[in-house]
Amino acid sequence: MGDLLLAELCREAGLPDGVFNVVPGGSDPGTALSAHDDVDALTFTGSVATGQAVMESAAQTITPVTLELGGKNPAIVMPDADLDEAAFWIGTGIFTNAGQICSATDRALVHESVYDEVVDRLVDRAEATDLGLGVDDPDMGPLNHEAHYESVLEYIDVGRESEATLATGGEPLEGDGYFVEPTIFTDVDPQSRLAQEEIFGPVLTVIPFADREEAIEIANDVDFGLTGGVFSSDVKQALSMARRIEAGNVYVNEWFGGSVETPFGGMKASGIGREKGLEALDSYLQTKTITVNLDERK
C-alpha cells in the first residue's frame, strides 16, 4: 500500500505518467521484467535468494544488474571508546524501524574489558525504547507483516535454545500490529545462526573479543559485507580497522552515516554495484567509443 500511495503522491505532484511506475503482484511482475529483452538494466533491493534469482534471469539476456541484498553488520567497540556514545549508536542502528533495515547493527563486537559495561548500557537502551504505532511517534514500531513477525520470533526461539543468554526482550506484544520487544542476546557464538543469518528485526547479538585481530576476524567471518562500524577514541586505530572490515560502508563513532552523495552498497553476498553518489550513475550508463579517420589514403 505504501508504494501505491507514493505513486498517487507523484501523480498529484505533477510527475509525468510513466516516470514512476508501481506494478502490484507477487513474483510474477519481477520475473517478467528481469527476463524481458527490452529492459536495459535492473536494480533490486531485497533478499539474497531473490537477488540470485534476478541475476540468473538477467543472465539469459545479458542484462546488467545492481543488487543490494542485506547484511549482518558488525559494530566493533574498542576499550577506549566512549561507551555511552557507542551504546546510543548501536541501539539506534538495531532498533530504528524495528531492525528492518539492511544496514542495521545486527552484531555488537565488544572488547572483553568493557563487555559488561556495554551490555548494561545496551539493555538499558532497549528497555527504555517506547513501542507504538507510527502516528504516535514512538521510538520503535511494529514488524511489517505476519510472516516476517513469525520469522523473527523463530530466530528468538533459536537463540533461547542456544547457549547464548537472553539479556532482555524476546517477547511478542499483544495489540494492533506485529510488535516484538527490543531483544538482546549476549555471549553469542560467532558461528551460530543468530550471528550468521540476517534476522531483519529488533534482535541484537553481542559477542566478546580479546584483541583487535580477533575483532576483525569475527567481523569478516560472515557471508555478508554491507556495513560495519568501529567505536574508538583513537581515530587512527579506527580508520585502520575500518579499512580491514569487508563492507561497502564503514562508520566510525556513529551509525547510518553518509548522505545521498556518498555511495552505498555491499561486498560478498550483500550485492553488486552502488546506490547514491556519482558512482550510482555507472549502473545506468555504458561507455561508447567512436574513432574517426581524418587522413585521406594516398
Cell numbers for 145: 507483516
What is the grid cell recorded at 48?
Answer: 539474497
- Catalytic pick among 68, 181, 198, 246: 68
Cα separation, 218 vs 16, whole angstroms: 49
Which helix or strand (DSSP H or E) is residue 187 part of? Answer: none
Determine the Cα–Cα distance for residues 163 and 216; give it in Å rounded to an integer.
23
* Known catalytic residue at 112: no
Beta strands (DSSP E) in 119-223 are: 165-168, 172-173, 179-180, 183-186, 203-209
- Residue 137 cell numbers, joined: 511517534
Q: How far apart are CA 163 and CA 235, in angstroms?
A: 35
Cell triple for 5: 500511495
* Of 144, 84, 105, 65, the residue nearest 249 (C-alpha): 105
Give me the helices (H) in 22-145, please: 28-34, 48-59, 83-95, 115-127
Just list the catalytic residues: 68
